[in-house]
């Protein structure tokens, strides 16, 4: 069976370089600010245009949108690497995955934050059972529970689907025993929600907490599914060749943002679809650029269901993934992070004031979680 791309929680990148995106035959319009781009093309989706800030100016460029950058996790906490973090509804806690020291399978953790977004000493808690591999944690909208994916019930089931880019050594396996687990916020009382053979992961709640969207290969190719919060009423949302994953409901729950490699194997692009599976639309054009890990900005008075996402892109090379903004209606996009190492897996706090992401910008160059005050620019 064909191997599909799996950039699920990629906080360690060992990938071959990919050439930049050609704009030949495509029309681009530069917005009023020099580092903001609006692109149009004859192909489906927007053609992304790389920001041209000189490498030596990265700190000043980044400070336009991100200030007061603080590191939330580090190896001294017993975490060899950490990433893919999400906020609790009150922003006083995060859930994330990490390698415990000396281990090579992710476990789920929570960490408490102060009111100004700094880690509280001795608040780190492992919330997964400790067996198997885990990924993709998320808080219940009422703040009382969590979900995550884990193989702890069936740690040895194999699956032919996996991710490995041609010429690269990085591999992400998709265990056949990966299921979605719900638990109390402290990790107690874990309960299995999905029981169908295959990979069930990449899960997130709807804003009202009634539904969970997730990726599953139960019917062959990984596609998007929605189920009731108790695991009942599973229905398929997408049914196309290739991989669909990393879904999140929009702020009002009407749409789902996700990533897929529909037309070029191992080259993810961004898509949006109505929550009932209708009206699918490709947001980024097919190219050699990998675009993944989209996450909605909060609702605003004039956009109650959201209009923009943050996402991760290889626009600056596969050894220097960066975070960008994208207005899903206009195609306007703008660079957010500028460090010379990996920046990705971004999320925005419920009040829109903080950006949290995974980065290798620390002194030890391991993948860890960072947070900054976030100034959302005009147009997003």
Long-range CB pairs of 56-64, under 8 A, 24+ apart, other chains included: 58/338, 58/339, 58/340, 59/338, 61/35, 61/335, 61/338, 62/336, 62/337, 62/338, 62/339, 64/35, 64/375
Percentage of residues in the chain with pLDDT exceeding 90? Answer: 77
Query: Mean pLDDT, to the nearest integer, of 269-282?
Result: 97
Rounded to whole angstroms, how far apart are CA atoms 138 and 146?
6
Fold observed for domain 27-374: Neuraminidase (2.120.10)
**Closest by CA position to 139, among listed 87, 90, 191:** 87
Report the run of H or E that residue 58 belongs to, with start and end.
helix 58-62
Rounded to whole angstroms, how far apart are CA atoms 8 and 5?
9
- Dump pLDDT digits (tens) for 330-341: 999 999 999 999
- Dump pLDDT digits (tens) for 206-245: 999 999 999 999 998 899 999 999 999 999 999 998 899 9
Query: Mean pLDDT, to the nearest integer, of 95-109?
Result: 96
- Other Cβ atoms less than 10 A from the Cβ of 235: the count is 11
- Dump pLDDT digits (tens) for 15-64: 332 223 332 333 232 233 435 554 444 458 999 999 999 999 999 999 99
Tell me: pLDDT of 74 over 90.
yes
> In residues, how long is the chain?
380
Rounded to whole angstroms, how far apart are CA atoms 124 and 111?
5
Tell me the whole-structure pTM to 2 decimals.
Answer: 0.89
Rounded to whole angstroms, how far apart are CA atoms 254 and 143?
21
What are the C-alpha distances in Å from 214 to residues 187, 235, 265, 352? 20, 11, 21, 24
Tell me: pLDDT of 128 over 90.
yes
**pLDDT value at residue 89:** 98
DSSP lists the bridge partners of residue 249 as 256
Tell me: pLDDT of 303 over 50.
yes
What is the torsion angle, in degrees rounded to the nearest 10, for the CA atoms of residue 92, residue 201, residue 83 and residue 269? -110
């Amino acid at each position: 069976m064909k191997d599909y791309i799996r950039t699920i929680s990629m906080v360690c990148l060992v990938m071959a370089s990919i050439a930049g995106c050609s704009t030949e035959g495509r029309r681009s319009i530069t917005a009023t600010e020099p580092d903001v781009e609006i692109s149009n093309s004859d192909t489906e989706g927007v053609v992304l245009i790389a920001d041209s800030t000189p490498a030596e100016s990265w700190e000043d460029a980044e400070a336009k949108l991100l200030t007061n950058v603080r590191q939330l996790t580090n190896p001294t906490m017993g975490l060899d690497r950490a990433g893919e973090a999400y906020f609790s509804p009150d922003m006083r806690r995060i859930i994330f995955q990490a390698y415990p020291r000396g281990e090579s399978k992710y476990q789920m953790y929570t960490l408490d934050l102060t009111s100004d977004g700094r880690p509280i000493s001795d608040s780190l808690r492992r919330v997964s059972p400790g067996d198997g591999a885990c990924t993709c944690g998320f808080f219940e909208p009422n703040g009382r529970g969590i979900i995550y994916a884990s193989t702890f019930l069936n740690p040895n089931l194999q699956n032919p689907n996996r991710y490995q880019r041609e010429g690269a050594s990085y591999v992400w396996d998709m265990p056949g025993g990966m299921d979605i687990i719900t638990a109390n916020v402290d990790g107690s009382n874990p309960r299995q929600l999905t029981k169908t053979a295959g990979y069930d992961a990449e899960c997130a709640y709807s804003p009202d907490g009634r539904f969970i969207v997730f990726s599953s290969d139960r019917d062959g190719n990984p596609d998007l599914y929605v189920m009731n919060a108790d695991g009942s009423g599973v229905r398929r949302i997408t049914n196309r060749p290739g991989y669909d994953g990393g879904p999140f409901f929009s702020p009002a729950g009407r749409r789902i943002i996700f990533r897929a490699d529909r037309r070029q194997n191992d080259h993810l692009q961004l898509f949006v679809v109505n929550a009932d599976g209708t009206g699918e639309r490709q947001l980024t054009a097919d190219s050699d650029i990998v675009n993944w890990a989209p996450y909605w900005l909060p609702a605003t008075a004039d956009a109650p269901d959201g209009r923009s996402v943050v996402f991760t892109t290889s626009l600056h090379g596969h050894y220097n993934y960066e975070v960008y903004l994208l207005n899903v209606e206009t195609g306007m996009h703008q660079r957010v992070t500028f460090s010379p190492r990996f920046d990705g897996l971004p999320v925005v706090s419920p009040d829109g004031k903080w950006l949290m992401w995974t980065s290798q910008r620390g002194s030890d160059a391991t993948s860890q979680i960072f947070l900054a005050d976030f100034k959302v620019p005009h147009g997003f």
